Amino acid sequence: MAEGAFSMTTPDMFTPLEPASVSDPVAARMDALRRQLHHHAHRYYVLDEPQIPDADYDRMFQELQALEALHPELTSPDSPTRRVGGKPLQQFASVRHAVPMLSIRTETDTEASGAQNFDARVRKELGLGASDPPVEYVAELKFDGLAINLRYENGVLAQAATRGDGEVGEDVTQNIRTIRQIPLRLSKDAPPVLEVRGEVYMRRDDFESLNEKQREKMARGIKGEKTFVNPRNAAAGAVRQLDPAIAARRPLSFFAYGLGEVTPEEEGGPLFETHFELLMTLKSWGFPVADLTGTAQGASELIAFHEKIGRQRDQLPYDIDGVVYKVNSLALQKKLGFVTREPRWAVAHKYPAQEQITTVLGIDVQVGRTGKLTPVAKLAPVFVGGVTVTNATLHNEDEARRKDVRIGDTVIVRRAGDVIPEVVSVLLDKRVQDAPMFTMPRKCPVCGSDAVREEGEADYRCTGGLFCAAQRKEAILHYSHRRAVEIEGLGDKLVEQLVDANVIRALPDLYRLGLSALVALDRMADKSANNLLEALEKSKATTLPRFLFGLGIRHVGEATAKALARHFGKFEAIMDATEEQLLAVNDVGPIVAKSIRTFFDQPHNREVVAQLRACGVRWKEGEAAARAPQPLSGKTFVITGTLPTLSRDQAKDLVEAAGGKVAGSVSKKTDYVVAGAEAGSKLVKAQALGVAVIDEADLLTLLSRY
Ligand code: IVH
């Protein structure tokens, strides 16, 4: 975490203190820790709105535990270390647990040594020497959810309770009943009293779709709806939802990992020798037990488990924050016993935290290959999820507003697996006064062209497609596409090289390429260089629709480019057309018209067009549509099979030039199917529907008849 971001957890506080001489500052420190922990436990357990990452909470908790061990005289009965969780909400009935719900000690050493430390402690407590055999453990996942006690009486789910403070929890039976994975009735061999303990959690995919729904509700202006920070908070919120009908709509899951009160063996209760046997029995009674649970011999197998799960962690369908090791033999568990409220026979071994606190140094706006503007928070470097993170995406304007991240803010960043780092939330109480709200720039930060956000879209885009350095590669590739101006042999690898080597800084530089610059590139022989130069030369003689399409104007696809060319005839007419004039073109709606206008309003784009023409790019201009003959106007064609002389693209161009439309599939609305050799299902369908089937010669006759 960022040094000093949370003043109570600076590392120097961990250095052992001399008991007598410094007892006052120690008492003050312990008091401060207790107050902080109470505050954060309330935020976490009661409000489901944590303000700090779990790792920081754990660190404070452990510091307090350590100080209490050193200074037992300074402990206080209300210390958070005496409790396991938060206060029950007033609205739920309280439930006193027949057997207290304990906590497990957390091994925060995330390295392999964490497992070794635990094994060494267990062996020492059991009085085992180096030559004694390894201790057998059960290795489980540490699910990131909410602990629940399920009480079955005579095989029927009688009560479900949260952990609460470990002694008294909340009665959440109604809500828990809605979880399908939890059996409401057990098979005959279950004992008369059985309490099963485990974790209620939310799967990641369920969490995503829940938040998606919440976002929709917020967008519709429904009051009181919010999105959840993570699956655990969503699960906790659902379990402690007072309205069971709402809880029922929240997708929850469950894993069992232990027992509470159970009918004793003398009264006909079950007899287990090991924890693993207990888990397998729970499974046979219908409780979900995670498949990744297994036994392990000694520290080395615990380490192997920790590493294996660490590798799989991000692919799991649910969040875990570590693994749990438990001594397998119940007799040994009994022998080991407890320290305060934590068993000596179990430990939670964590993974590096995926959330950390840091500060926002600035907010940059990056421009993607396609012109999309993305706000990115620049962070004070922080080690999270196993790497040092300095950037976190804010996605788009709405997201940035929703999170309201400002320069100077203290934020929680999250990085899980390969997922790009994200700002989870802002710690508002640490905001610098008068920090201005972030606003998206109205100009592209790379090229200065207008940045626009179209109606119904989330992103701002740079409109300087031809000129903008960020979009150079994409613009060149698009321009040289087979269906645009077509420059044969100019693929993405080559464009990459040309742009990276700074040989091409703007689109017209393509036509300024010389042989020497080309052969200087990697893997470029004389022959291919000459071929490319030839292809470039050939591309100069193009058509107006191809050129228009090649400019990469947003929303101007091939069909629109053709319609524009047909309608206006001349390039200048299109470039200077008003939105209203553009709207007169078939298929051009307000969004497209505006996009074309904005594109040509950028002086840089016009300049690039002028330069391309100066380099020799040319096309035959036609007359405006009103005067041009449109013999096939209103007719729809489908072209299928191999035609004797024309390629399908050529046939399509001819039909469209004559005002016809070419569709991809045959329907009753099709006027003609042009069938060549090996025409298949489309021909069959045409015959079935009674659509006229013609060949290439017929098509040419149709075209020449007018
Ligand atoms: S055993 C006496 N096993 O971690 C041992 N707990 O402090 C009681 N947790 O909130 C707990 N996965 O809900 C155990 N496989 C697992 C667990 C697990 C998650 C949670 C538990 C509690 C915390 C333990």
Encode pLDDT of 340-365 as tens digits.
Answer: 789 999 999 988 878 899 999 999 99
Q: What is the residue type of 180?
A: R
Q: Residue 388: which domain range?
A: 355-430
In this structure, the answer to whether residues 542 and 486 fall within a common structural domain is yes
Quickly state the pLDDT bin for 455 (edges 50, 70, 90). Answer: confident
Tokens at 566, concatenated:
């047909």
Residue 55 tokens read as 């790792």
Summarize pLDDT for 415-425 with one digit per residue, the tens: 876 678 999 88
Inside any domain, residue 1 = no
Q: Which of 683, 682, 679, 676 is nearest to 698 (CA)?
A: 676
What's the pLDDT score for residue 95?
A: 94
- Collapsing DSSP states into helix, strand and coil, what is residue 359? strand
Q: How far is CA 441 from CA 332, 360, 370, 379, 459, in A?
A: 65, 18, 17, 20, 12
Q: How confident is the model at residue 507 (pLDDT cuts 50, 70, 90)?
A: very high
Residue 338 and residue 577: Cα distance in Å, rounded? 82
- Full DSSP string of 609-656: HHHHHHTT-EE-----GGGS--TTTT-EEEEESB-SSS-HHHHHHHHH
Pick the closest to residue 618 from 703, 529, 540 (CA basis): 540
CATH number at residue 641: 3.40.50.10190
**Ligand 1 mean position, distance from CA 73 (Å):** 30
**Residue 273, in any domain of the structure:** yes
CATH number at residue 396: 2.40.50.140
Ligand 1 pocket test, pick from 197, 324, 325, 344 with the greatest ligand atom count within 8 Å of Cβ, gives 324
CA-nearest of 134, 109, 110 to 123 is: 134
Task: State the Cα torsion 400-403-409-414 to the nearest 10°.
Answer: -100
Q: How far is CA 677 from CA 48, 239, 582, 638, 649, in A?
A: 68, 66, 40, 14, 16
Sign of the dihedral through C-alpha 40, 46, 50, 53 = positive
Answer yes or no: do 292 and 416 share one domain.
no
Atom of ligand 1 nearest to the CA of 144: 19
Please write down the long-range contacts of 74-78, taking CB distance under 8 Å and 24 or more positions apart. Answer: 74/23, 74/26, 74/27, 74/30, 76/30, 76/34, 78/34
pLDDT tens digits for range 241-281: 888 778 778 899 999 999 999 999 999 899 999 999 999 99
Give CA–CA dist 260/439, Å, rounded: 54
Residues within a 6 A CB radius of ligand 1: 102-104, 140-143, 147, 199, 257-258, 324, 343, 346
Of 110, 83, 108, nearest to 97 (Cα)? 83
Q: What is the mean pLDDT of residues 432-438?
A: 89
Residue 63 shares a structural domain with residue 130: no
Instruction: Tell me the C-alpha distance between 249 and 270, whole Å.
Output: 36
Report the residue among 142, 149, 306, 330 best suited for mutation to probe ligand 1: largest number of ligand atoms under 8 A from its CB.
142
Task: Average the pLDDT over 160-166 and give the result.
Answer: 93
Q: What is the pLDDT of residue 85?
A: 33
Cα(128) to ligand 1 centroid in Å equals 27
Q: Are residues 143 and 292 in the same domain?
A: yes
Relative to the CA of 102, which ligand 1 atom is closest? 2
For the CA of 142, the closest atom of ligand 1 is 12
Give domain status of residue 100, yes or no.
no
Residues 145 and 164 in one domain: yes
Instruction: Kindly state whether residues 180 and 329 are assigned to the same domain.
Output: yes
Tell me whether residue 401 is in a domain. Answer: yes
SS3 44: helix
Q: Give yes or no: residues 198 and 320 share one domain.
A: yes
Tell if the pTM clears 0.85, that is, is over it. no
Nearest-CA residue for ligand 1 atom 6 is 142
In the chain, helix, strand, coil percent, each to 5? 40, 20, 40
**Gap from CA of 348 to ligand 1 centroid (Å):** 8
Distances (CA, A) of 329 to 306, 333, 334, 638, 683: 21, 6, 9, 75, 74
In this prediction, residue 53 carries a pLDDT of 85
Q: How far apart are CA 69 and CA 584, in angstroms?
A: 82
Q: What band does 86 get if pLDDT is binned at 50, 70 and 90?
A: very low
Mean pLDDT of the chain: 88
**Statement to judge: residues 579 and 494 lie in one domain:** yes
Same domain assignment for residues 658 and 602? no
- Spacing, Cα 305 to ligand 1 middle (Å): 17
Q: Contact 250/187 with Cβ under 8 angstroms?
A: no
CA torsion sign, 580 to 581 to 585 to 587? Answer: negative
The pLDDT of residue 20: 38
Tens-digit pLDDT profile for residues 673-699: 999 999 889 999 999 999 999 999 999
* Residue at a domain's end among 56, 86, 116: 86
Closest C-alpha residue for ligand 1 atom 13: 147
DSSP structure class, residue 133 = P
Nearby residues of 171 by Cβ (< 8 Å), 6 or more positions away: 92, 93, 94, 95, 159, 160, 161
Last residue of a domain, one of 605, 627, 649: 627
Boundary of a domain, candidates 430, 446, 472? 430
Let me know whether 122 and 267 are in one domain: yes
Task: Kindly tell me if the per-residue pLDDT of 1 is higher than 60.
Answer: no
Rounded distance from Cα 197 to ligand 1 centre (Å) = 9
pLDDT per residue over 381-393, tens digit each?
998 877 899 999 9
- Which helix (H) or strand (E) covers residue 169, if one does? strand 168-170
Closest to 103 in 3D by CA, of 117, 85, 119: 85
In a domain, 92, yes or no: no
Q: Judge whether 436 lies within some domain.
A: no
| CA–CA distances in Å: residue 178 to residues 121, 201, 236, 239, 696 | 41, 13, 14, 10, 66
Nearest to 135 by CA among 302, 322, 307: 302
Which atom of ligand 1 is nearest the CA belonging to 141?
15
Together in a domain, 553 and 622? yes
Q: How far is the CA of 165 from the centre of ligand 1 (A)?
A: 14
Compute the average pLDDT of residues 314-326: 93
Check: CB of residue 25 under 8 Å from CB of residue 381.
Answer: no
Residue nearest (by alpha carbon) to ligand 1 atom 12: 142
- Is there a single domain that holds both residue 479 and residue 394? no
pLDDT at 557: 93
Tally of structural domains, the chain:
5
Atom of ligand 1 nearest to the CA of 346: 5
Residues labelled as active-site residues: 142
For residue 29, give the CATH number of its domain: 1.10.287.610
Amino acid at 537: E
The CATH number covering residue 564 comes to 1.10.150.20
**Average pLDDT rounded to a whole number, residues 45-63:** 79
The tokens describing 414, both together, are 């999250």
537-577: pLDDT as tens digits? 999 999 999 999 999 999 999 999 999 999 999 999 999 99
CATH of the domain at 337: 3.30.470.30
Residue to mutate, 107, 165, 199, 275, ligand 1, most ligand atoms under 8 Å from C-beta = 199
Of all protein residues, whose CA lies closest to atom 7 belonging to ligand 1?
A: 103
Look up residue 691 and give its two tokens.
């659509």
Average pLDDT over every residue of 595-619:
96
Strands 618-619 and 541-542: parallel
Spacing of C-alpha 319 from chain mean position: 14
pLDDT for residue 341:
81
Residue 98 lies in a domain: no
Helical segments of 73-151, H only: 113-125
Question: How is residue 128 written in tokens?
Answer: 């085992």
- For ligand 1, atom 3, name the residue with the nearest CA: 257
Q: Which tokens belong to 403?
A: 């999170």
pLDDT at 5: 32
Give residue 136's pLDDT.
Answer: 98
Q: Average pLDDT of 49-78?
A: 84
Do residues 71 and 31 lie in contact, with contact meaning Cβ atoms separated by under 8 Å?
Answer: no
Q: What is residue 437's DSSP assignment?
A: P
Question: Residue 3 falls within a domain, yes or no?
Answer: no
Give the Å distance between the CA of 135 and the centre of ligand 1. Answer: 21
Between 23 and 396, the more confident residue is: 396
Closest ligand 1 atom, residue 140 Cα = 15
